[in-house]
Amino acid sequence: MAANLKGRHFLKLVDFSSEEIKDLLTLSAALKANKRAGVRGKALEGTNIALIFEKPSTRTRCAFVVACVDEGAHPEYLGKGDIQLGKKETVADTARVLGRFFDGIEFRGFSHQTVETLAEYAGVPVWNGLTDKWHPTQILADLLTVQEAFGRLEGLSLAYVGDGRNNMANSLMVGCAKMGMDVRIVAPPSLHPEAELVQMVEGLASETGGKVTVTADAEEGVKGAHVVYTDVWASMGEEAQIADRIATLGPYRVTTQMMEMTGRRDAIFLHCLPAFHNLETDVAREYPEIREVEDEVFEGRWSRVFDQAENRMHTIKAVMVATLGH
């Protein structure tokens, strides 16, 4: 790897240069090839890793656990209610204690400030496994999946359709702009990203040859897109807004017609998951219109969502190996 990321935190992609992100993708691909070849690493041997989760998780939790074990580390899951973080003990105090025990700390939760405070006080690398504002490890998996599908990133266009101001929209804008991609946020005006963030991303795109567009027009937004991406309409913690979101985002459901509107035979569909695409979950049975993507797309020829999910593990492993590994 060209860049030396030892000792660095991984809190948001804004903190990383385009080269550093590319290096993490190169390392991810190498670790993936090793895993496929049955080669186990020892880069994290002898280390202990704390995994703090205020919110539920399937992919991120399991990716961290498996990546730790593959590279010889011991992962310790600290779920909601297991520790005092912010309740009977300040985040800064918990950070200083955990930093004495552990070699690295992952945090998933609500406030982005919590993971920043952990990083400030822990004295060991801290990795963001999702906050309300950013989901940076997800973007590495997304970029790796796009790179695998098209052989490159620069110059490709990605249309994110749905809630344009959530952690995924924010993070995709930054990650794609840093890779010189043409990123479009396709959302109703009430769910457009913060103007300040768009301005910052436009600055990033101007340095890489990338482009950022925010539009409410789905046809214009997906035209020519190599990748159509969506996420749930109500993120974790926004359950009270489900009915409102269904009303606002109904026209933005990813359908076969929308995939065809890209005009590209080779367009792919991505979703960070979990996804509502049929009526086989409790929440979708209660709110049948909650589906952000049609089953025909999710299960169809465009979909790379399970390659993308697998890539969570390889990319999270790369983040830990690059920042902590020996």
Residues at the site binding ligand CP, with contacts judged by CB under 6 A: 57-60, 130, 138, 272-274
Tokens in use for 190? Answer: 């009430």
Selecting among 138, 182, 226, 271, the annotated active-site residue is 138
Shortest Å, Cβ 54 to ligand CP: 12
217 is catalytic: no
When binding is defined by CB under 6 A, the residue of 149, 232, 261, 319 that contacts ligand NVA is 232
Cβ-based nearer residue to ligand CP, 24 or 305: 305
User: Which residues on neighbouring strands pair with residue 251, listed in sequence order?
Assistant: none
Judged by CB, which is closer to ligand CP: 101, or 306? 306
Report residue 39 as tokens: 């080669």
Q: Is 138 a catalytic residue?
A: yes
Residue closer to ligand CP by CB (options 106, 182) is 106
Q: Which stretch binds ligand NVA (CB under 6 A): 165-173, 257-265, 281-289, 300-308?
A: 165-173
Annotated catalytic residue 62: no
Distance CA 176, CA 199 (A): 14
Look up 147 and say whether it is catalytic.
Answer: no
- The contact pattern for ligand NVA, residues 85-124, with x = CB under 6 A and - = no contact, is ----------------------------------------
Residue 111: which residues within 8 A CB-CB, separation 6 or more?
Answer: 131, 132
Closest to ligand CP by CB, 55 or 192: 55
Q: Where in 61-196 does DSSP place strands (E)?
A: 74-79, 104-108, 126-128, 157-161, 182-186
8 is catalytic: no
Question: Is residue 108 annotated as a catalytic residue, yes or no?
Answer: yes
Residues in contact with 315: Cβ distance below 8 Å, sequence separation at least 6, in sequence order: 24, 25, 28, 137, 140, 141, 144
Q: Measured between alpha carbons, how far is residue 312 from residues 61, 63, 321 in Å? A: 10, 6, 14
Binding mask 174-193 for ligand NVA (x = CB under 6 A): --------------------
Closest alpha carbon to 147 in 170, 175, 185? 175
| 166 binds ligand NVA, rule: CB under 6 A | yes
Question: Which one among 18, 94, 235, 311 touches ligand NVA, defined by CB under 6 A?
Answer: 235
Please report how close the Cβ of residue 138 comes to ligand CP at its closest, in angstroms: 5
- The only residue of 114, 137, 145, 167 in contact with ligand NVA, by rule CB under 6 A: 167
The answer to whether the CB of 304 falls within 8 A of the CB of 230 is: no
Query: Which candidate in 61, 108, 226, 245 is catalytic?
Result: 108
Token output for 36: 């496929």
Which residue, 94 or 167, is less far from ligand NVA as judged by CB? 167
Q: Is the peptide bond before 274 cis (omega within 30 degrees of 0)?
A: yes
The DSSP letter of residue 194 is: P
Cα distance between residue 140 and residue 312, in whole Å: 8
Q: Which of 59, 272, 277, 304 is catalytic?
A: 272
Annotated catalytic residue within 135, 184, 271, 277:
135
State the first-to-last Cα distance of the chain, in angstroms, to the nearest integer. Answer: 13
Q: Which residues are catalytic?
A: 108, 135, 138, 231, 272, 312
List residues binding ligand NVA (CB under 6 A).
130, 166-168, 231-232, 235-236, 272
